[in-house]
Structure 1
Amino acid sequence: MAKFFGFEVTKAKKQLKTFAPPENDDGALGVAAGGAFGQYIDMDGSIKNEVELINKYREMSIHPECDMAIDAIVNEAIVISDEKENALNLDLNELGAPDAVKKKIHEAWDKIIQTLDFNKKGYDIFRKWYIDGRLYFHIIIDEERKKRGIQELRYIDPRKIRKVREVQKVRSDNANGAELVKRVEEFFVYNEKANKPDSTVQEGIKVMPDAIAHVTSGQFDYKKMNTLGYLHKAVKPLNQLTMMEDALVIYRISRAPERRIFYIDVGNLPKAKAEQYLRDTMSQYRNKLIYNAETGEIKDERKHMSMLEDFWLPRREGGRGTEITTLQGGQNLGEMDDVIYFQVKLYKALNVPSSRLDEQSSGFSLGRESEISRDEMKFSKFIDRLRNKFTEFFDQLLKAQLILMGIIKEADWDKIKHEIQYEWAEDSYYREQKTAEILQMRMELLSTVAEYAGRYFSMEHIKKNILQMTDKEIRQMKKQIDAEVDGGTLAKDATIEWGAMGAGGGEPPMEEPPPEGEPVPAVPPANSNGQQPPNEEKQLITGEKQFDINKIQRLLNQGADNGS
């Protein structure tokens, strides 16, 4: 591959035989490999189309209703915590690596967050990506000291850069003569004047793919081969809402005033004289001469009434003569149902709950889980999908940082990238309230199921399905309880035996009085062979799973009598 601008951390992979080119799901411009010296890229047609799309999205974002919806989405996705925590953190609990390596990965991650200044600019970065549908950053390093990692991350206008995927095919030697993909080369083309309509420059700078960190919306128009933004499906609803609002304003201006209708009797006058007589009559009502006492002048303050206010109509002989009546204004000026309908439609197109449009319910209520609306649940899942897609941007940054600093090798990244998880910051108050409600609900359910522990539910089932504890949490909790007992923080008799939970903790259960005439045996009677009950029955009577001794003894007695 030719040496382009930037750096390279990814080695060329072996191209396997296939007849299908790579899927174009990132908006890359697909070109066929040219002759011996180069190829031609249509930088005017497709780029111009994407530039128009991005400009359209940015115009939509400043519309009040659209801006409110975008603000609600970005605020839910990016939470700037007051506890001096990062807006986005790494979770390496599932990473099977030594603690020293994990520490270095965390340090490299903190440097990325600081270089990007994500805690302060995270809202703006996420908003740019959501509106434009694509995000590009140039990774700048020190070529002489690559071990220092990423030195700067510089934002690139998506209208000036385009990803290109060059596919070279060769005809196979088989009888069918199918074309196989021989080589796939990806790079970026940067053109400073690509977004200017009067520009005739078709040249661009080729940039190495590892030098650009980018992420798209994942939505693609396969007809026009363009990447679509999240605002694309709201283009039509927003245009309809704008037209409806404009029509409503025009209707109110034109129908709000109560007009006067002047019926002027012109008799049998000819048309020309009738029109002159009508104009003279109109002028009489418009003359208004006043005397200005301060200057001693006479002013002519005529009010030229437009046709929106008054109507002047001639009336021929035989009518009712001159008459002045009124024309009522519009009666349904307060109807806003049409505008509200298109507002709700716009919010639905943006996946924002329409309930957030209601200004009357401006209060914030957490409520219980059963009270959460279906739209809010769908909105929460939509935010999770956005976050998951946006983390592809940080995957590229973290990969470049770890390889440049020598923490891992390129082959190691494919092994560990699926074990690295991202933790997004949540609103602290909302998170605490939500955690408390979930814990309270589980404790109430636990108190209900506790009496059936050991009978119908095992303790492992209760821990994993009622308390929703993982195997790791179960081991940690047992380890903490044992440490507190050994350290004297927790008394040994204060712990609850797992099998005694159904009996009300560590206390032995209250014995039920036996039926009249039936003595309480001190020990279980022997069976028909004169032997004691098996160990399992002894454990039910004397062990830790002690629930109802008398009932078990009666069952054993009945078994002994039947056996004899």
Structure 2
Amino acid sequence: MADTSLFSRLRRLFSTNVVVRNVGGRKLKVSDTSRTQAYSKSNLVDRYQKIFTGAGLSGYSDALMTKSMRLNLFKDYEAMDSDAIISSALDIYSDESTMKSEYGEVLQIQTDNDQIKEILHNLFYDIVNIEFNLWPWIRNMCKYGDFFLKLEIDEKYGITNVVPLSVYDVSRLEGLDPENPEYVKFLIEAATAEHRYKQEQSSTKEELENYEVAHFRLLSDSNYLPYGKSQVEGARKIYKQLTLMEDAMLIHRIMRAPEKRVFKLDIGNIPPAEVDNYMQQVINKMKKAPVVDETTGDYNLKYNMQNITEDFFLPVRGGDSGTSIDSLPGLTYEATDDIEYLKNKLLSALRIPKAFLGFEDQIGSKATLAAEDVRFARTIERIQRITLSELTKIAIVHLYAQGYQDAELTNFELTLTNPSTIYEQEKIELWNNKTSLADSMLRDGLCSSEWIYKNIFNFTQEEIKEMDKQITFDYKTKFRRQQIEQEGNDPAESGESQGTPSDLALGRTGHELDDEGGSEEGGQPGAGRPKEPNKYGKDSGARGRDPLGAHDKKKGGSGAPKYGKALALSHYDSLKKSMNFNKKDREIITEVSELEEEYQNEVSSFSNDKSND
């Protein structure tokens, strides 16, 4: 029965070092966690196993000799790390590779699955603590070329802890399984804790599977496979030469720099055979002082502070007679140009701008610094890509333990912040030039949109179709926002537009059905069902049940016994005559009567005015 535990499934998942998932249709997404696609392993000229070890002809184990050669390299790297320039360079590599983005994040996680983003954010920022630990990881990787990280995996929770391993103790084993050449294991030979600081040599051996170790390695030279090449390997020889030149300069300055004196002694007529004895007597007299010990009475010659090897004593006679003492200045060291030459070679091997290391005088102009900054940004980008490949492996192991196995296992992207603003500005300027060119060509009618997409932006036919869909969606979103802002209408919910030119041409404003009347929401204070009013023709009415007397009229005109006797017709006739319905008095209108009436009115009004006066 096949083993279906988490660790056996992880072993099968990383048995080829490449995780492949189908993300829809015929599209595949490949996560090359060990960068096996970058280098071929079939016909390598391995520096350790072919050049240095003798391919098994020495009689010793090739593995032991390989480890011995690596240890020799590590000793040189340790010595180089004590140099001020190289140590600063390693710090700069780490500083520039772990810069925070404008959002304050060292590592950006991009995915369309919010749950995966939360899981990976918890992994890198809470469990791994990448904000603090990534800096020393990258520095050690740049220093040794390799960095090993042991992953502690729980079947239920995934990765719960990471433990850095020393490059001195870990060996990468490849090609152990003939049926699976990509199978990788890691051998750890470390001294035990109880014997690490004792004279007894005791060590433990532990084999770890590929999914249990994250191997950060700088893959730049196939001769160093299966390990990485140190970032300072190119400066190793130059560092030794520069160290020798600096030591020679210091020795020369110490031995030749002191000022010397020249003593010219007049020997007069002393015979030549006795000149040496005379000079020695003078030297001894000047350089030695006779001392008598008061307690013992012993006679001792005690040297004074002057150094006999620094001064010159010359006998003179004849025309140059006369004792004199001259000063001879110390020799100056003129070989600093050689040291400057080696230092420039060292800086070029480190691929760091001189201004970053405090040598601003070497930069001729800002343009030169900008160009060097872009080249340095590419170096940092390469280091970040290698780092991200192993961080992706850590994320895949954690997601697989969390239960993700299909396309969601690789449905994420990890990115680190590029430190060079000039590098970003150059990319932005390039896109600005492309868009300006495309806009002018399209505006002048020189080329079609499809030609511009294919030849300026290098889009494929599928990408052009997808871009058209996205542009259409952007226009819809823009129209929707305008409707919400100007008309207060959301077309996505109402299903219609309002206030557009077509709506206005049809006489529609979109506010026809707006309810502008009525009371406030919840009603006016004291509002409720009104009191029922009096009803006409009922007992509650103001004039009773029969306000027009219809009942009495019916009673009077009826011959029924219950209403009594009917009114005689003669009574109707007499009543009608007495009321004079539709009768008017007739008289003849004469003009004389009207004039007389008008005259009387004027006379009366005139008399009234005089009486008032």
Shorter-chain TM-score tier: 0.5 to 0.7
What is the CA–CA distance in structure 2 between the aligned matches of 1:274 and 1:108, rounded to whole Å? 95
Give a deviation string over 1:414-472, Cα, whole Å, max 9, x none.
xx75x7543212459778866776676567657xx637624213345557777899856
CA contact (8 A) 2:46 2:225 kept: no
What does residue 129 of structure 1 align with? 141
Per-residue CA deviation, residues 337-375 of structure 1 (Å, 9 max, x unaligned), is 332222211111122234545634699x9x7xx776543
Gapped regions of structure 2 (runs ≥ 5): 17-39, 51-59, 291-301, 487-613
1:139 and 2:151 are equivalent in the alignment: yes
- 1:422 paired residue among 414, 425, 434: 414
* AA in 2 matched with 1:337: D
**Distance across 1 between alignment mates of 2:134 and 2:453:** 38
Query: How many corresponding residue pairs?
Result: 427
Output aligned runs, 1:74-473, within 5 Å. Answer: 74-81=94-101, 83-85=103-105, 87-92=106-111, 99=112, 102-114=113-125, 115-142=127-154, 146-167=155-176, 186-193=184-191, 201=202, 204-219=205-220, 222=223, 227-266=228-267, 267=270, 268=272, 270=274, 273-274=277-278, 276-283=280-287, 304-306=305-307, 310-315=310-315, 320-321=320-321, 322-330=323-331, 336-357=336-357, 359-360=359-360, 373-408=370-405, 417=410, 420-427=412-419, 450=440, 453-460=443-450
Per the TM alignment, residue 235 of structure 1 is displaced from its structure 2 partner at its CA by 0.7
Structure 1 residue 59 displacement after superposition: 2.5
Question: Residue 26 and residue 139 in structure 1: after superposition, are their counterparts in 2 closer, same or farther (change >3 A)?
Answer: farther
Q: Could you tell me how far apart the structure 2 residues matched to 1:252 and 1:376 are?
A: 37
**How far does residue 63 in structure 1 lie from its aligned partner after superposition?**
1.1
Structure 1 CA distance for aligned equivalents of residues 418 and 226 of structure 2: 37
* TM-superposition CA deviations, 1:45-70 (whole Å, max 9, x none): 33233233223213312311112222
- Does the CA-based 8 Å contact 1:26-1:227 persist in structure 2? no
Pairing of 1:4-19 with structure 2 (within 5 A): 7-8=7-8, 9-11=10-12
Cα distance, 1:184 vs. partner?
7.0
Q: 1:89 and 1:252 mapped to 2: Cα distance? A: 54
Aligned to 1:119, the other structure's residue is in SS state helix
Match of residue 480, structure 1, among 474, 482, 485? 474
Conserved? CA contact 1:220–1:226, under 8 Å: no
Distance 1:130 1:483 in 2: 48
Q: Is the 8 A contact 2:253 2:333 kept in 1?
A: no
1:72 aligned onto 2:101: no
TM-score, length-scaled by structure 2 = 0.58
With a CA cutoff of 8 Å and minimum separation of 6, indicate the structure with the bigger relative contact order: 1
What displacement does 1:225 show? 7.9
Alpha-carbon distance in structure 1 between the residues aligned to 2:423 and 2:468: 23
Contact 2:48 2:69 in 1 (8 A): no
Q: CA deviation at 1:129?
A: 1.1
Give 1 or 2 for the bigger CA radius of gyration: 2
Partner letter of residue 85 of structure 2? E
Query: What is the CA distance between 1:271 and its match in structure 2?
Result: 7.0
Other-structure match for 1:35 = none
SS in 1 for 2:108: strand
8 Å contact from structure 1 (residues 88, 425) kept in 2: yes
The superposition leaves residues 185-211 of structure 1 with CA deviations (integer Å, 9 ceiling, x where unpaired) of 532211113999987557512222221
For 2:389 and 2:123, the matched residues in 1 are separated by: 14
Give me the TM-score of the superposition, normalised by structure 1.
0.62
Distance 1:167 1:192, change over 3 A: closer
- Per the TM alignment, residue 183 of structure 1 is displaced from its structure 2 partner at its CA by 7.1
Distance (whole Å) between structure 2 residues aligned to residue 219 and residue 123 of structure 1: 21
Tell whether the 8 Å contact from 2:188 to 2:205 is kept in structure 1 after alignment.
yes
CA distance in 2, matches of 1:359, 1:166: 47
Asked whether the equivalents of residues 161 and 191 of structure 1 are also in contact (C-alpha less than 8 Å), the reply is yes
Cα distance change on mapping 1:429 and 1:216 into 2, 3 Å = closer
In 2, the alpha carbon distance for the partners of 1:233 and 1:75 equals 21
Paired amino acid for 1:104: Q
Which segment is superposed worse, 181-190 or 458-467?
A: 458-467
Contact 1:215 1:390 in 2 (8 A): yes
Take 1:162 and 1:306, find their aligned partners in 2: how far apart are those partners?
A: 57
CA distance in structure 1 between the aligned counterparts of 2:215 and 2:225, rounded to whole angstroms: 21
Opposite residue 260 of structure 1, the aligned amino acid is R
Distance 1:68 1:247 in 2: 24
In structure 2, distance between residues paired with 1:433 and 1:118: 28
Q: 1:189 to 1:199 in 2, by over 3 A?
A: farther
Q: What SS does the corresponding residue of 1:79 show, helix, strand or coil?
A: coil
- Identity of paired residues, percent? 19
Gap regions ≥5 residues in structure 1: 15-19, 31-39, 93-98, 170-180, 288-300, 493-564
- Counterpart CA distance in 2 for 1:197 and 1:227 is 32
On the 8 A contact 1:231/1:350 being kept in 2, the answer is yes
